[in-house]
Structure 1
Amino acid sequence: MSRKSLSLLLLTIIAASIAPLTSLGAADAGFTLPASLSASDFPDDIHMDSLARLPQVHRAELNAVGREAFDTYVSPGTGYGSGLRGPIGAWMNSPELAQAMFDVRQRVRYESDRDQRLTELAIIATAREINNQYEYTAHEPLAIAAGLEQDIIDIVRFRRSIEDNQAIAGFGETEQVIVKFAREVISEERVSSETFARAIDIFGEEGVMDLTGLIGYYSFVAITLKAFDVQRPAGSDLLLPVRAE
């Protein structure tokens, strides 16, 4: 199977399978902010080198195909120069899959017409809907660095009503549609005709496919993190509020 075919198959499978910075106010009373992690919080089956259920994969252990995939990820500008942990570290147990997902990542995250502010909004909205702490905590700082306003981040963090927050500075039609699209594609049976039409008006056909691919890619990241129980480093602040029991 070609790399392109494998990438498309992975995204198809993902789509089919998906059915503290601020204090909490009264509107967010249904959420609690988790405490920082300590090493004692890690489950017994976690390897300390990888912070996951399988040990870290080292380049020297790989065959030629694996070394090529490894080198692709640690090349300059990828953000992984310090080593492969997190979801990428898990993917390296299947180097051909890791290589295929790199191509998807580059397309949906960096090569679409969206700027990084909107891209990070879509990513944190995806992480919020899937309730993935690792993914959300990794990307909220990136969203801030990309210029996403804290008030918009909090709409996502606490899953606040889009309709009740339309007056928030910077939360225009484009931002609202991204959040609504992510919520519906993950948490509803289908994306509504209205939301889809609004997305087409803003992004066009290719842009909507790229947005869907971005959500699908980070859904696969979240599935990987969940399957391998990948942990944030000890001492990390956890930024995604959880629903109070």
Structure 2
Amino acid sequence: MLLHEDKDFGTFGRFVETPVAEMDDVTRNAYDFTLNLRGLVPGPHKIWLANPKLLETIAPIGSYFQKDSTLTKAEIELATCVITGHWRASYANYEHERIAERLGGLPPQKVEALLAGLPVAFDDARQQIVYDLASTLAGARALPAGMFRRAQELLGDRGIVDVTVLLGWFSAVSLTLLAYDVPSNAVGLDQ
């Protein structure tokens, strides 16, 4: 990461958070909406508060993957690590390395390889196809017909859609964090 002068930093990377007590009504409603939906206002959501209507529109997507996805927690974290590693988003990589190991139950060496863009193999057929889909799509390569058929057999169309939207979601997360130069150790305001 480049060294910046203090004037280039806010409370969360380059972003300057507004304390909850100082938020206007529209922003406070979006904050409360996200807090009620997720139980916290995590990383990129702090930045997305700059556009409250957008936050209220996209926050339910992240919540879907926490509660209703057809993918297991390990599969979600596997795909997440592939795409955040692709974008080299320091904050997302740091957070999801810990989450993948703790909550996703993935072995540390595999998580490290996912984040580094190195080849990984999984004994579980579903995890392997999620990895194959995520790494192929993140690498901007064409999805072979045989791989697609395997994905349909193992995940169904609902699962394939979950993987692709998850990759898009975490691309938005990563790009937001990159735009605001959010470092891996960012904490932001204690809201």
Of 85, 90, 97, the match for 2:54:
97
Which SS does the other structure have where 2:77 is aligned? helix
Residues 198 and 109 of structure 1: CA distance in aligned 2, closer, same or farther (over 3 Å): farther
Contact 1:42 1:231 in 2 (8 A): no
The one-character-per-residue Cα deviations of 1:169-191 (angstroms, maximum 9, x if unpaired) are xx322112112211111212432
CA deviation map 1:164-219 (0-9, x unaligned): x45xxxx3221121122111112124323222222111111111111111111011
Give the equivalent residue in structure 1 for 2:189.
Answer: none
Structure with the higher helix share, 1 or 2: 2
Bigger Rg, structure 1 or 2: 1
Which structure ranks higher in relative contact order (CA pairs < 8 Å, sequence separation ≥ 6)?
A: 1
* Residue 74 (structure 1) aligns with: 35
- 2:9, 2:33 → 1: CA distance? 26
- 1:150 and 2:113 correspond: no
What is the CA-CA distance between 1:42 and the residue it aligns to?
A: 4.8
**Candidates 121, 127, 131, aligned match of 1:179:** 131
Give 2:69's aligned residue.
112
**Residue in structure 1 matching 2:151, options 199, 205, 222:** 199
8 Å Cα contact 2:30-2:56 kept in structure 1? yes
- Structure 1: tracts of 5 or more residues without a match: 1-36, 235-245
> Which AA in structure 1 matches 2:131?
V
Give TM-score scaled by structure 1 length: 0.67
Asked whether the equivalents of residues 108 and 213 of structure 1 are also in contact (C-alpha less than 8 Å), the reply is: no
TM superposition shift of 1:85: 6.1
Give runs of aligned pairs for residues 17-28 of structure 1, distance below 5 A.
none
2:50 is paired with a residue whose SS is: coil
For the residue of structure 2 that corresponds to 1:93, the secondary structure is: coil
**What's the TM-score, normalizing by structure 2?**
0.84
Q: Give the count of matched residue pairs.
A: 184
Distance 1:151 1:127, change over 3 A: same
The equivalences for 1:1-245 within 5 A come to 42-44=3-5, 45-47=8-10, 50-75=11-36, 78-80=38-40, 84=41, 86-146=43-103, 147-162=105-120, 165=121, 171-233=123-185
